[in-house]
Amino acid sequence: MEKYKDIGFKLTPQRLAILDHLDGNKEHPSAEDIYKAVSKQFPTMSFATVYNTLETLRQKGGVIELTIDPGKKRFDPNIEPHHHLICIKCKRIADIHGNYKLTVPNRERADFEIVGNHIEFYGICPKCKAVKN
Ligand code: ZN
Ligand code: MN
């Protein structure tokens, strides 16, 4: 939780509960998912509180907003650069941590100095693949 204080994020009990749920969470939850989980502990918490907390955190760089699920924004507390795999059936998002070398040829770079990248791979996860339909 220290890292959140370091980025100037004021900690209230409700915010702490949200951070607690996010910390080390690899599920890439949506705001709705987080609200559902945290409101069990804080029944008076509103969805707006969850949403606003995520938005403030995002602005301060404490969480990354993923837009790869067109149905809803997903959030990633892992702010280290990494890539993602998304299941087109169940929308599960998995991490890719390997540091694979990706280059853009000079002629395509438009004189940009490239400082990062984020690749989204789409596919069918093993669970969905196992379901015969
Ligand atoms: Zn799936
Ligand atoms: Mn991730």
Q: pLDDT by residue (tens digit) across 81-124?
A: 999 999 999 999 999 998 888 889 999 999 999 888 899 999 99
* Ligand 1 centroid distance, CA of 21 (Å): 23
Mean pLDDT of the chain: 92
Residues of the chain with CATH 3.30.1490: 83-130
Greater model confidence, 2 or 120: 120
> How many Å apart are CA 51 and CA 46, to the nearest integer?
9
For the chain, residues classed under CATH 1.10.10.10 are 2-76
Question: Tell me: domain 83-130, CATH 3.30.1490, correct?
Answer: yes
CA of 8 to the centre of ligand 1 (A): 37
Domain 2-76: which topology?
Answer: Arc Repressor Mutant, subunit A (1.10.10)
What is the arithmetic mean of pLDDT over 5-32? 90
**How many angstroms is it from 61 CA to the middle of ligand 1?**
29
pLDDT in tens, 47-57: 999 999 999 99
Distance 37 CA to ligand 1 centre (A): 21
Give pLDDT, residue 133: 60
Q: What pTM value is reported for the model?
A: 0.86
Give the model's confidence band at 26: pLDDT under 50 very low, under 70 low, under 90 confident, else very high. very high
Helices (H), the chain: 2-6, 13-22, 31-38, 47-59, 126-130
Ligand with smallest separation from the Cα of 75: 2
Name which of 95, 84, 85 is nearest 26 in CA terms: 95
